[in-house]
């Protein structure tokens, strides 16, 4: 069982939605970036998306664009990103790490070499935003051989004709893009997310992550209600303790006593995005 599968099984057992945290690798500099990734894992992220900086991020708004530019100016490359993942994995054997970005850096690196080196570094999956199912065999085939999950994206315009192609040969989970637009612009509508996740369920048994347009804690809670389909804790009327960090220690609702203090003092220019995912 992979780390992603184990984490989703744990969420199902705990009867709750999970939290995915996204940061751009190398932003604002390599040392700070690594410390932040270590911090969000300790603070309780259930899965971490590691953004691969790219000069032309077509699906991203100004915040992630700026984060990517800072990382590139600091010298971040795909090779250095994998080196950072190797360091993170040495500290944290449990949290799933998923690389997210665009295909050009992988194409230059070499798809087969990328899949091999990513798995060796401790990466569990990849989300390639600009690589549609019809064009992803060049990466998907060596990824499957290496044990790297390829996470496919569904959108509000993915209808019942399109969805079989989207979910076919996907692994890890399905990423549902909750808005028709770039990151950091519109907000997702909980009712629309509910309908979209229900539609996806008819085509796949994979877990579903919801991203893009989740901006506030209150909105995240509403989206979780829409897509959780009566988790066990809610049916039983009991709140389950949130589990934080790589060892998933119980965390009180008022705040985690082990939350790294350096997160609250992170540079204001840093970009952090978060998503929800559901079992």
Nearest to 197 by CA among 175, 216, 180, 165: 175
Q: Residue 13 CB: number of other CB atoms within 10 A?
A: 11
SS3 for 255?
A: coil
- Residue 29 annotated as catalytic: no
Q: In this structure, what token pair is assigned to residue 36? A: 């932040």
Q: List 107's β-bridge partners, or say none.
A: none
Q: Tell me how far apart the alpha carbons of residues 255 and 251 are, in angstroms, rounded to a whole number.
A: 7
Q: List 89's β-bridge partners, or say none.
A: none
Q: Tell me how far apart the alpha carbons of residues 3 and 59 are, in angstroms, rounded to a whole number.
A: 27
DSSP code string of 69-108: HHHHHTT--HHHHHHHHHHHHHH-SSS-EEEEE-HHHHHH
Q: Annotated catalytic residue: which of 27, 46, 60, 117?
A: 60
- Residue 27 annotated as catalytic: no
SS3 for 222?
A: helix
∠ at Cα 227 (160, 274), nearest 5°? Answer: 105
Q: Residue 193 CB: number of other CB atoms within 10 A?
A: 26
Q: Tell me how far apart the alpha carbons of residues 24 and 134 are, in angstroms, rounded to a whole number.
A: 27
Q: Annotated catalytic residue: which of 14, 27, 42, 49?
A: 49
Q: Residue 257 CB: number of other CB atoms within 10 A?
A: 9
Q: In this structure, what token pair is assigned to residue 110? A: 């070499």
The catalytic residue positions are 49, 60
């Amino acid at each position: 069982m992979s780390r992603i599968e184990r984490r989703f099984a744990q969420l199902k057992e705990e009867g709750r939605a999970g939290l995915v945290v996204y940061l751009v690798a190398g932003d604002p500099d390599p040392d700070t970036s690594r410390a932040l990734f270590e911090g969000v894992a300790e603070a309780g992220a259930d899965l971490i998306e590691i953004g691969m900086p790219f000069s032309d991020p077509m699906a991203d708004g100004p915040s992630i664009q700026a984060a990517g530019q800072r990382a590139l100016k600091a010298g971040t490359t795909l090779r250095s990103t994998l080196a950072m993942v190797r360091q993170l994995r040495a500290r944290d054997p449990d949290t799933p790490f998923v690389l997210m970005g665009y295909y050009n850096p992988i194409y230059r690196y070499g798809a087969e070499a990328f899949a091999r080196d990513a798995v060796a570094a401790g990466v569990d999956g990849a989300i390639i935003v600009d690589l549609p199912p019809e064009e992803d065999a060049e990466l998907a085939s060596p990824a499957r051989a290496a044990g790297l999950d390829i996470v496919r994206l569904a959108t509000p315009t993915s209808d019942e004709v399109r969805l079989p192609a989207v979910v076919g040969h996907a692994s890890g989970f399905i990423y549902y893009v909750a808005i028709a637009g770039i990151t950091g612009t519109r907000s997702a509508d909980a009712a629309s997310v509910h309908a979209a996740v229900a539609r996806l369920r008819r085509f796949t048994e994979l877990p579903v992550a919801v991203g893009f347009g989740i901006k506030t804690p209150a909105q995240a809670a509403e989206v979780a209600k829409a897509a959780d389909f009566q988790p066990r804790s809610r049916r039983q009327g009991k709140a389950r303790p949130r589990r934080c960090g790589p060892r998933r220690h119980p965390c009180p609702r008022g705040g985690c006593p082990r939350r790294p203090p350096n997160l609250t003092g992170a540079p204001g220019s840093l970009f952090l995005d978060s998503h929800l995912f559901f079992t």
